[in-house]
Chains A and B, each alone.
Chain A
Amino acid sequence: MLLLTQADYEAIRLSVKVALAATALSLPFGFAFAYLMTFFKFRGKVLLEVVVNLPLTLPPVVIGYLLLIALGKNGWLGPLLEALGLRLIFTWKAAVLASAVVGFPLLVRSIRLAMEGIDYQLIQASRTLGARAVDTLFTVILPLSLRGILAGSSLMFARSLGEFGATIIAAGNIPGVTQTIPLAIYEYASSPSSEKAALSLCVVAVALSVLVLLFHEFLAQKLARRD
Chain B
Amino acid sequence: MELRMAVRKSFGAFTLKTDFTVSGDKIGVFGVSGSGKSTLVGLLAGLARPEEGEITLDGDCLFSSARGINLPPQRRRVAIVFQQPCLFPHLSVESNLLYGFRRLAPELRTIDFAALVSVLKLEGLLQRGVNNLSGGEKQRVALGRAILANPRLLLMDEPLSALDDSLKFPIIQYLRSASERFGIPYLFISHSLLEVRLMTEQVLAVAGGRIVGQTTPEELARERMGQSQVGYINLLDGELLRKMGGLYVYRWGGVELFVSAGNDNPSALFELSSRDIILFKKHPEAISARNLLKCTVVDTFPSGNKVGVELRCGTQTLVAEVVVQAADDLAIQAQTEIYAVVKASSFRRLV
Interface residues of A (CB under 8 A from B): 119, 121-122, 124-132, 135, 139-140, 143-144, 226-227
Contact = CB atoms under 8 A, between A and B. Distances in A.
A123 to B, nearest CB: 9
A140 B88 CA distance: 7
A179 to B, nearest CB: 42
Given A127-B74, A129-B103, A129-B149, A227 B82 contact: no
B100 A144 contact: no
A109 to B, nearest CB: 22
Given A127-B47, A129-B100, A131-B103, A143 B90 contact: yes
B54 to A, nearest CB: 20
A144 B82 contact: no
Contacts of A140: 88
A135 B82 CA distance: 21
B90 A128 contact: no
Interface in B58-113: 72-74, 76-80, 82, 84, 86, 88-90, 99-100, 103-104
A147 to B, nearest CB: 11
B238 to A, nearest CB: 38
A143 B92 CA distance: 13
Contacts of B72: 127, 132
B82 A125 contact: yes
Nearest to B142: A125
Contacts of A121: 82, 84, 86
A119 B84 contact: yes
Contacts of A132: 72, 74
Contact of A128 (B80, B88, B89, B129): B80
A197 to B, nearest CB: 48
Nearest to B78: A128
Contacts of B88: 122, 125-126, 140
A127 B73 CA distance: 6
Contacts of A125: 80, 82, 86, 88
Interface in B290-332: none
9 contacts: A119-B84, A122-B86, A124-B80, A126-B88, A129-B100, A131-B103, A132-B72, A143-B90, A226-B90
A128 B45 contact: yes
Given A124-B45, A124-B47, A128-B46, 6 more contacts: A119-B86, A125-B86, A129-B149, A130-B74, A131-B99, A227-B89
Contact of A130 (B86, B90, B149): B149
B131 interface: yes
Nearest to B151: A128
A170 to B, nearest CB: 40
A143 B76 CA distance: 26
Contacts of A144: 89-90
B103 A130 contact: yes
A122 B89 CA distance: 9
Contacts of A143: 90
B312 to A, nearest CB: 45
Contact of A227 (B100, B131, B149): B131
B145 interface: yes
Contacts of B90: 143-144, 226-227
Contacts of A135: 74, 103
Nearest to A130: B103
A143 B90 CA distance: 7
A131 B74 contact: yes
A225 B89 CA distance: 12
A121 B103 CA distance: 19
B175 interface: no
B249 interface: no
A119 B46 CA distance: 18
A86 B47 CA distance: 46
B146 interface: yes
A119 B88 CA distance: 10
A119 B146 CA distance: 18
Contacts of A122: 86, 88
A207 B74 CA distance: 50
Nearest to B145: A129
A221 B72 CA distance: 38
A135 B104 CA distance: 13
A119 B130 CA distance: 15
Contacts of A226: 90
